């Protein structure tokens, strides 16, 4: 049994592989967990959880699981708090082995980030509940009353090809040629011009969530913090990244999520129960636009939008659970 005295108790924090890039949104999720920890003694890679052989640690196990199902369930040396857990549709059947089901039952109740994960666990008789995402508690450390006039485009319509995406590496360029994406470059620009005023497009700052895998772990956390500080002080953010939209809810920054092209089972499982938490513009394959808020057809630098508050109660419960786990 682990010692729960915080002067001796050790804590772990999740980090992630990069091949050849990493998603800074993963590190935003780890920063959400880090807020609650008195210290970080060790980084544990998400894809090597079962192989962990270090000291006994406590870890908040929020986030997306998993590329390597053979590394699940985690090592017994990890004392977990399972909140904001997303079991991706692509991995579900490989992950939910009898061993994993027994593990999750022994370490429940399991807080699920989305309703897809909730249903998948409950079908296996695992005690679970809809917790929402821990990034909706980032106000603890990163919220500020000092707002600027800056507006940001954070990877909007990132599924559509664009030159920034091609710069991820030569393989991306080759894939674009083979798939024919290179002939669809104009579509992204057309949709953005349909939704955003010219002034917004000309004055906004572009923020990328996919960054170079050559960054050290320290640099990756610095990049995530830099992005959060930008969003916290922003006047308005437009994005297609859920780990931009959810943090903006916590930071009190108006945010609009553009939902386009997320049609595969992996994306749909991630969005289940989440996309209604923020102002969302849905665009179907025919180009038809439907919003879940009062949208007049164009977003400008002076547009006024208030975020929904449906996340507030869930965020309060997440804070309570995380603080209790650490203490």
147 and 285 share a domain?
yes
154 and 239 Cβ atoms separated by less than 8 Å? yes
34 occurs within a structural domain: yes
> Is 4 part of any domain?
no
Residue 292 lies in a domain: yes
The torsion angles phi and psi of 256, rounded to 5 degrees, stand at: -125, 130
Residue that wins the pLDDT comparison between 215 and 176: 215
- Is 319 contained in some domain? yes
Is the same domain home to 128 and 101?
Answer: yes
The token pair that represents 22 in the structure block: 């990493």
Residue 185 pLDDT greater than 80, yes or no: no
pLDDT at residue 63, as a whole number: 97
113-160 tens-digit pLDDT = 999 999 999 999 999 999 999 999 999 999 999 999 999 999 999 988
- The domain total for the chain is 2
Q: What angle do CA 51, 215, 42 make, to 5 degrees?
A: 35
pLDDT in tens, 79-113: 999 999 999 999 999 999 999 999 999 999 999 99
Query: Do residue 118 and residue 171 come from a single domain?
Result: no
Question: What is the rounded distance in angstroms from the CA atom of residue 264 to the CA atom of residue 246?
Answer: 21
Are 201 and 281 in a shared domain?
yes
- The parent domain of residue 185 ranges over 139-310
pTM: 0.91
Does 169 score more than 90 pLDDT? Answer: no
Indicate if 118 and 16 belong to the same structural domain: yes
Percentage with pLDDT > 90 across the chain: 83
Pair 208, 274 in one domain = yes
* DSSP annotation of 6: T
My answer on whether 110 and 211 are in the same domain is no
Q: What percent of the chain has pLDDT over 70?
A: 91
Residues 162 and 65 in one domain: no
Distance in angstroms (rounded) separating the CA atoms of residues 203 and 150: 8
Q: At 1, is the pLDDT very low, low, confident or very high (cuts 50, 70, 90)? A: very low
Average predicted confidence (pLDDT) for the chain: 92
Same domain, 70 and 179: no
23 vs 264: which has the higher pLDDT: 23
Report the chain's C-alpha Rg in angstroms: 20
Q: What is the pLDDT of residue 186?
A: 78
In a domain, 203, yes or no: yes
pLDDT at position 2, please?
A: 42
Q: Which two tokens stand for residue 53?
A: 């052989």
Residue 188 in any domain: the answer is yes
Q: CA angle 61-315-230, nearest 5°?
A: 85
- From 211, 227, 216, 215, select the one nearest 32 (Cα to Cα): 227
Instruction: Provide the pLDDT for residue 192.
Output: 94
Same structural domain for residues 143 and 262?
yes
Same domain (yes/no): 223, 280:
yes
The pLDDT of residue 285 is 83
Closest CA to 129 of 270, 273, 275: 273
The answer to whether residue 119 sits within a structural domain is yes
Q: Is the pLDDT of residue 287 over 60?
A: yes
Q: What confidence score (pLDDT) does residue 228 get?
A: 98
Q: Which residue has the tokens 């707002």?
A: 147
Q: Are residues 45 and 145 in the same domain?
A: no
**2 found inside a domain:** no
- ω before 109 within 30° of 0 (cis)? yes
């Amino acid at each position: 049994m682990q010692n729960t005295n915080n002067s001796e108790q050790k804590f772990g924090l999740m980090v992630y592989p990069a091949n050849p890039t990493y998603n800074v949104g993963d590190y935003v999720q780890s920063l959400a967990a880090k807020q609650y920890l008195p210290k970080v003694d060790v980084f544990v890679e998400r894809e090597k959880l079962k192989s962990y052989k270090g000291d006994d640690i406590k870890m908040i196990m929020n986030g997306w699981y998993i590329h390597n199902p053979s590394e699940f369930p985690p090592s017994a040396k990890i004392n977990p708090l399972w909140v904001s857990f997303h079991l991706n549709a692509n991995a579900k059947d490989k992950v939910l082995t009898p061993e994993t089901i027994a593990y999750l039952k022994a370490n429940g109740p399991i807080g699920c980030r989305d309703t897809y994960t909730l249903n998948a666990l409950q079908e296996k008789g695992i005690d679970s509940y809809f917790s929402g995402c821990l990034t909706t508690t980032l106000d603890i450390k990163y919220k500020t009353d000092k707002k600027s006039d800056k507006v940001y485009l954070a990877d909007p319509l990132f599924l559509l090809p664009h030159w920034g995406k091609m710069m991820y590496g030569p393989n991306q360029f080759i894939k674009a040629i083979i798939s024919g994406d290179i002939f669809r470059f104009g579509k992204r620009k057309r949709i953005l011009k349909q939704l955003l005023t010219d002034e917004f497009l000309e004055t906004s700052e572009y923020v990328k969530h996919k960054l170079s895998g050559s960054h050290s772990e320290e640099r990756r956390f610095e990049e995530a913090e830099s992005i959060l500080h930008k969003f916290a002080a922003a006047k308005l953010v437009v994005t297609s990244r859920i780990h931009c939209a959810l943090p903006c809810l916590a930071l009190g920054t108006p945010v609009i999520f553009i939902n386009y092209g997320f049609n595969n089972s992996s994306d749909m499982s991630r969005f289940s129960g989440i996309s209604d938490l923020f102002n969302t513009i849905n665009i179907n394959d025919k180009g038809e636009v439907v919003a879940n808020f009062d949208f007049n057809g164009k977003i400008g630098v002076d547009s006024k939008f208030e975020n929904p508050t449906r996340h507030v109660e869930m965020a309060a419960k997440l804070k309570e659970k995380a603080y209790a786990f650490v203490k």
